């Protein structure tokens, strides 16, 4: 979009680039000796020590006390996946189209599907190997139903390299859905209004 200033690598007086004022490095032995003396006795070390001491006395600590406290995460953050349900019926949104499985560049998604008693495609099991997942977000982007999204849970350390989340881990529990706690995903892959979409005529 606005990449022109960055693309202009012609460093000259009228551009936004300028040279930082850096002292010449000493080359002679005498000049080097003078710089050592100057740095040793200037007392810059105490500036830093004073800052630490001052903050310690004030008890105004900025360190986040992880894991007791956590920083808020941006909506576009891509952590462990979630499978959402439809608000109205509580059914799974996933239709089992397999696009996430297809697009996955680290080949870590697998699903088992079958025809259910209502002649609909049913996803019987769904798994993501988090040990392979690179959290690129393609699965969420390609999903036509906004069924698979990235959640905020980034704590997925494990004892083994290969570790999996399955459908039950990712699917919104029904009680959370009824209590309205399923968050709609505003991030990567969510619906953006698009004026280029043309309306199909209907005969009735």
Partner 1 sequence: MNEITITIDGKEVRTQEGEYILNAARANGIFIPAICYLTRCSPTLACRICLVEADGKQVYACNAKAKNGMNISTTTPTIEAEKRAIMEVYDVNHPLECGVCDQSGECELQNYTLEIGVDSQSYSIKDTHKPAQNWGLIHYDPALCIMCERCITVCKDMIGDSALSTVARGGDPLDAAFKASMPKDAYAMWNKLNKSLIAPNGGDTLDCTNCGECTSVCPVGALVSSDYQYTSNAWEHTQIPATCAHCSAGCQISYDIKHTSIENPEAKIYRVKNEWNYVSLCGAGRYGYDFENRSVTKDANAFNAAIEAFKNADTISFTSTITNEEALILQKLKEKFGYRLVNNEALALKNFLKHYGAISGQSLYGGDLKKVHNADFVVSIGSALKTDNPNARYAMNNALSMNKGAGLYFHPINDPVITDMSKNVTQVNHAPLMEEAALYWVLDLFGDKSAMPSELSDYLSTFHSMKTVTIQETVDEKVTETVTKKVVNAQTGLEEEVSETVTKTVKKKVSKEVEVDTNGLLDYLNAPTGFSDTLTKYLAKKENFALMVGADLYTHPNAANCARLVALIEKYTKFSVTMIPNLANTLGVALLCDLDSGVGTRTIGYNTSGDFTLSALGDGDLDMPSLNQQEGTLTSINKRVNPTNAAVPFGGYTLNDVASALGLKASLTIEYTAQLPVDAGFKGLEFDALPNYYTNAGEEIRGYLLDSHTIEMSEDQSVQPFDTKGAMSGTMIYRANPVMQFSPFTARAHQLRESGGLYVSLEMMSAYGLSGEDTVRVTTTKGEVVVPVINDSKIKGEIGYLPTFDLKINSGAVLGDYRFSNVTIEKV
The region of 4-12, 42-50, 72-80, 113-121 touching partner 1 under the rule CB under 8 A is 113-121
Distance CA 78, CA 70 (A): 16
> Which C-beta is closer to partner 1: that of 80 or that of 143?
143
> Which C-beta is closer to partner 1: that of 77 or that of 164?
164
User: What residues pair up with 115 in beta bridges, in sequence order?
Assistant: 121
CB 171 within 8 A of CB 137: no
Q: Does 198 bind partner 1 (CB under 8 A)?
A: yes
Q: Does 136 bind partner 1 (CB under 8 A)?
A: no
Q: What are the phi and psi torsion angles at 154 (to 5°)?
A: -105, -5
Task: Give least dist CB 195 to partner 1, A.
Answer: 14
Q: Does 98 bind partner 1 (CB under 8 A)?
A: yes
Residue with structure tokens 């992880």?
A: 66
Q: Does 107 bind partner 1 (CB under 8 A)?
A: no
- The binding track of 159-188 with respect to partner 1, each residue x by CB under 8 A or -, is ------------------------------
Report whether the peptide linkage leading into residue 67 is cis, meaning its omega lies within 30 degrees of zero. Answer: yes
Residue from 79, 86, 106, 113 touching partner 1 (CB under 8 A): that is: 113
Encode 103-117: b = buried (16+ Cβ within 10 Å), e = exposed.
Answer: ebeeebbebebeeee
Distance CA 69, CA 61 (A): 13
Task: Give least dist CB 119 to partner 1, A.
Answer: 6
Q: Does 122 bind partner 1 (CB under 8 A)?
A: yes
- The residues of the shown chain that bind partner 1, judged by CB under 8 A, are 95-99, 101-102, 110-115, 119-122, 125, 127, 144-145, 198, 200-204
């Amino acid at each position: 979009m606005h990449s022109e200033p960055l693309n202009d690598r012609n460093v000259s007086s009228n551009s936004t680039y300028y040279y930082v004022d850096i002292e010449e490095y000493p080359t002679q032995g005498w000049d080097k000796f003078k710089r050592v003396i100057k740095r040793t006795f200037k007392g810059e070390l105490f500036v830093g020590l004073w800052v630490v001491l001052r903050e310690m006395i004030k008890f105004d600590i900025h360190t986040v006390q992880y894991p007791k406290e956590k920083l808020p995460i941006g909506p576009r953050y891509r952590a462990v996946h979630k499978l959402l349900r439809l608000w109205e019926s509580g059914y799974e949104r996933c239709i089992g189209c397999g696009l996430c499985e297809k697009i996955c560049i680290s080949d870590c998604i697998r699903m088992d599907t079958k025809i259910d008693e209502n002649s609909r495609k049913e996803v019987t099991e769904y798994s993501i190997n988090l040990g392979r997942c690179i959290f690129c977000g393609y699965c969420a982007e390609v999903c036509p139903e906004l069924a698979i999204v990235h959640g905020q849970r980034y704590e997925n350390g494990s004892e083994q390299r290969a570790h999996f989340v399955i459908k039950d881990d990712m699917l919104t529990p029904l009680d959370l859905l009824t209590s309205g706690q399923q968050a709609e995903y505003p991030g990567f892959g969510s619906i953006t209004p698009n004026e280029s979409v043309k309306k199909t005529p209907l005969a009735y």
